[in-house]
Amino acid sequence: METDKCAGTAPEAGAVLYDGESGRVGEYRAKAGPYLLLRPLGGGREWEADPGDVRPATPAEQLSAKVRAANDQGTRNRAEPVNGPQHEAPRPPVPVPGCTECAELGAQRAAARAGFDWSGETDANVLLRSHQRRDHGV
């Protein structure tokens, strides 16, 4: 039995929650009758979740949902077909000096690299590139 369920009161707006019934992570939007309305982190169609099946998302679940959202956004914005011309692998993004979020993602990437966690390193690169496009126009 899971603990820390959100069945008692409505969570704060914007809270990141895990819906055990659907197996998805979403941002709390509003209450709709007996249900909670959740939306995927990168945007998309809201769904109704039973408050008894919802709990705060773990940091790992949040990271996974953010990476999925960044990947989905990249796929939607792709200029050439998936099977198009092959290019040289892009270099890892460089954190923008003075940016706290860039520094945190760079540290996350370094820790993953030091622990031989190649998936974690890739996740950090995806999030860093997404952040830089969104907030720095890079």
Percent of the chain's residues with pLDDT above 70: 84
Where do the structural domains in the chain lie, given as residue ranges? 1-56, 91-136
Total-model pTM:
0.51
In angstroms, the CA 44 to CA 89 distance is 30
In angstroms, the CA 104 to CA 117 distance is 17
Q: What are phi and psi of 27, to 5 degrees?
A: -95, 130
CATH placement of domain 1-56:
2.30.30
Nearest to 15 by CA among 34, 28, 24, 32: 28
Tokens of 55: 């709990």
The model's pLDDT over 94-113, given as tens digits with 9 standing for 90+, comes to 999 999 999 999 999 999 99
